[in-house]
Structure 1
Amino acid sequence: MDFTPFLVGFVIMSLSSLAIYAKGSKAPAAVDQTYMHATVPFIAATSYLAMTFAIGDIVKLDGTVTFVARYLDWTFTTPILLAGLVLTALHGRREMSGYLIAIITLDVLMIVTGLISSLAVAPVIKWIWFGWSCAAFLGVLYILWVPLRTINTKLGGAMTGAYLKNVTALTVLWVLYPVVFAVGPEGLKSASTDATSWAILVLDVAAKVVYAFYAASNVERALADTTTSRDGQAADPYVGRV
């Protein structure tokens, strides 16, 4: 097994965490996004460092490997990314707490059941748990695209466009993860462990680094447009914190 993608991932994620923080907005209305997005690649770097040294790797009876550190990474990073989206959707309003609890619970269940699917050797059991993980993922997407999207649209303003762009980008990227799982050694075994490791690295960089800059840019542009259009007299909690 080639450990190069893990070492490359550690370097990229470490440097990206610093870059996101350095380039991110420190304005009160956007600084929370900067901290969240900078934290995500730092956690990922920790995971990649562990995988570089094969810490947490479980070799199963069929010879395939489950990288537990990868699932631990997702257990922490995906809720942070979702929190950023919920914050954007609801303009920082207090009612976000209920949606946060629901979506993070489904998200963590998605990761945990995905881990169980990876650890399972019997095909029937593996695919049952994979299906249940996908069901939790559909729940996450439902909350993002139905109630949160509806509320975001009703609130109006420039933040509506920012949320739509960000949720679309993250949805497209996240849909690819179960596809890689399904064709990789943890699923149909159509792709090798090395090929899957490189594929997930590319997805991780896109979902945790490229997305961070893209999402922050959309939010900052929306905040600037809203502030300008309301001459600084905004009632929106997001703008009021500028």
Structure 2
Amino acid sequence: MAKRVERKLRLFHLITGIILVTAHASYLVMACGMGVTWVRSFKHAADGAPVIRQVFYARYIDWAITTPLLLLDLALLAGLPTIQIIPLMFADLVMVLVGLFAALQDSSEKSRWFLYAISCAFYLYVLFTIVVSGRHAASLQSSGVRRIFNVTAGMIIVLWTGYPIIFALTEGKGRISVDAEVISYGILDFFAKIVFGFYLLIAHSHTEGDSVVLPESWTEPRGAVRYGAIASDD
């Protein structure tokens, strides 16, 4: 898909490609039995013994890389200024990392829910930025860009809200099994990464008013730009 457009218009392709490759590597690692640890759950078995539960920390490493990039896709599409993009991506990274520490917490249930609450607070900031600042910035773009932003932002809001809910039922309370947890997260990841990414690229390639056009210094060899010998698009 990237080869169908000029290099200066391939930023969304690059970001989305990195997201999908990272997610693929994460699931490959987990499928090979790595990226997982065991944590004592605060739910007890019938005989009173504590339950030991799997926590796939590889998933959080995946999210720490891919979710800020997903937001970068969304922010660049809307045309958010850099001064708002940086704290948005930082808040998302803190949200994921604090969630990881909450999942690994096995000494105090109160500490786990305290960390969960902090993670959710950063998520609320992410939502606020998308809904308020993102929509305002997108309203200044072409009608096609506004439409794509509304659809993709809606996907992110709906799908991402499912993650803390699953966390609360799994790592939080242990109400559903690890198998159900893996399936649930997998479904959300499929739509939040693959479906989101392909929709963004397909829809954006058929609309006018691209909000990101890379300069030649990003797309051509330095010497070619300096001496005016622009290389071929290959």
Q: TM-score range by the shorter chain?
A: 0.7 to 0.9
Q: Is the 8 A contact 2:105 2:111 kept in 1?
A: yes
Q: Kindly indicate whether residue 87 of structure 2 is the aligned counterpart of residue 102 of structure 1.
A: yes
Which string of whole-angstrom CA distances, capped at 9 and with x for unpartnered residues, describes residues 91-147 of structure 1?
A: xxxx63212211111000100110011011222111111111010001111111111
Residue in structure 2 matched with residue 211 of structure 1 by the alignment: 196
Kindly tell me: are residues 166 and 160 of structure 1, through their superposed partners in 2, closer, same or farther at Cα, counting changes over 3 Å?
A: same
Question: In the TM superposition, what are the counterparts of 1:41-120 in structure 2 within 5 Å?
Answer: 41-62=20-41, 63-90=52-79, 96-120=81-105
Q: Is the 8 A contact 1:24 1:216 kept in 2?
A: no
Kindly tell me: are residues 25 and 176 of structure 1, through their superposed partners in 2, closer, same or farther at Cα, counting changes over 3 Å?
A: farther
TM-score, with structure 1 as normaliser: 0.77
Which string of whole-angstrom CA distances, capped at 9 and with x for unpartnered residues, describes residues 55-106 of structure 1?
A: 232211330122111100000001111111111001xxxx632122111110
Which string of whole-angstrom CA distances, capped at 9 and with x for unpartnered residues, describes residues 149-204 of structure 1?
A: 112213444211111111111111111111111112x0111110011101111111
State the AA in 2 paired with 1:139: Y
More helix by share: 1
Percentage of identical aligned residues: 27
Q: Is the 8 A contact 1:165 1:218 kept in 2?
A: no
Equivalent pairs counted in the alignment come to 204
Find the residue that maps to 2:139 and give its secondary structure.
Answer: helix
Q: Kindly indicate whether residue 185 of structure 2 is the aligned counterpart of residue 200 of structure 1.
A: yes
State the AA in 2 paired with 1:27: E
Counterpart Cα distance in 1 of 2:141 and 2:95: 30
**Residue segments in structure 2 that go unaligned for 5+ positions in a row:** 42-51, 216-234
Q: Kindly indicate whether residue 155 of structure 2 is the aligned counterpart of residue 169 of structure 1.
A: yes
Q: Is the 8 A contact 2:38 2:54 kept in 1?
A: yes
State the AA in 2 paired with 1:100: I
The partner residue of 1:179 within 155, 160, 165 is: 165
TM-score, with structure 2 as normaliser: 0.80
